[in-house]
C-alpha cells in the first residue's frame, strides 16, 4: 500500500513591485506589509507566429520579520523574489458586493539586484550584489531547496 500524498501549498515568484508597499502594525514590532507584484511571460501565437507579453498581478502579504525587511528595503520598481503559500478570502464592499480574492502570504523575500537594465540602481542598496557573496545580517536568504517537491510529489517528473 502506498503512502498518501501530502498536499502542498507553495508559491515562488519573482517580479516587479508595482506600488509602494503599504505597512500597518498588527502589534508592536509586528508589521503586516501588503504590496502588488507583477510577473510576466512571453507567449507565442501558434497560428500567427507572433509573440506577446502576458502580465499578471499578484497580491502579496508579508508579516513579522519578512514584513520588517520589506518595510525598510523594498520600494516601488524593485525586483523581488518571494516564497510563501496561497490563501483565499472573500471581501465585501460598502454596497454589500462580495469579491473573491487570492493572496500570497510570504515567509521569505529577497531583493534582487539583477533587475532590468532600464531600472536605475539605488545608491544605498542594503543587499549585496550577486557577484559579492557576502550576506548582511538583515538580509534574509531565500533557499529554494526548501520548496522543491520530492520525486513522488512532482507531477512533471
pLDDT value at residue 135: 44
Residue 91 counted as domain residue: yes
> What is the domain extent for residue 88?
11-147
Q: Per-residue pLDDT averaged across 24-36, rounded?
A: 94
pLDDT of res. 5: 76
Domain assignment of residue 5, yes or no: no
> Residue 119 falls within a domain, yes or no?
yes
Higher pLDDT, 51 or 1: 51
Per the structure, how many domains does the chain have?
1
Classify residue 115 as exposed, middle or buried by CB count within 10 Å of its CB (0-12, 13-18, 19+).
middle
> What contacts 124, CB < 8 A, 6 or more positions away?
none
Q: Is residue 153 part of a domain?
A: no
Q: Is residue 38 part of a domain?
A: yes
What are 35's three cell numbers? 504590496
| pLDDT above 50 for 123 | no
CATH of the domain at 115: 2.40.50.140
| Confidence category of residue 39, pLDDT binned at 50, 70, 90 | very high
Amino acid at each position: 500500500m502506498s503512502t498518501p500524498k501530502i498536499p502542498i501549498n507553495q508559491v515562488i515568484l519573482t517580479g516587479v513591485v508595482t506600488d509602494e508597499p503599504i505597512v500597518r502594525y498588527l502589534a508592536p514590532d509586528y508589521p503586516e506589509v501588503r504590496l502588488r507584484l507583477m510577473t510576466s511571460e512571453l507567449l507565442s501565437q501558434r497560428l500567427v507566429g507572433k509573440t506577446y507579453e502576458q502580465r499578471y498581478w499578484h497580491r502579496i502579504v508579508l508579516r513579522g520579520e519578512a514584513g520588517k525587511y520589506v518595510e525598510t528595503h523594498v520600494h516601488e520598481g524593485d525586483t523581488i523574489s518571494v516564497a510563501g503559500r496561497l490563501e483565499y478570502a472573500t471581501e465585501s464592499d460598502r454596497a454589500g458586493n462580495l469579491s473573491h480574492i487570492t493572496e500570497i502570504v510570504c515567509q521569505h523575500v529577497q531583493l534582487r539586484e539583477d533587475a532590468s537594465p532600464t531600472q536605475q540602481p539605488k545608491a544605498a542598496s542594503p543587499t549585496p550584489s550577486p557577484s559579492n557573496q557576502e550576506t548582511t545580517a538583515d538580509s534574509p536568504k531565500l533557499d529554494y531547496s526548501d520548496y522543491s517537491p520530492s520525486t513522488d510529489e512532482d507531477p512533471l517528473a
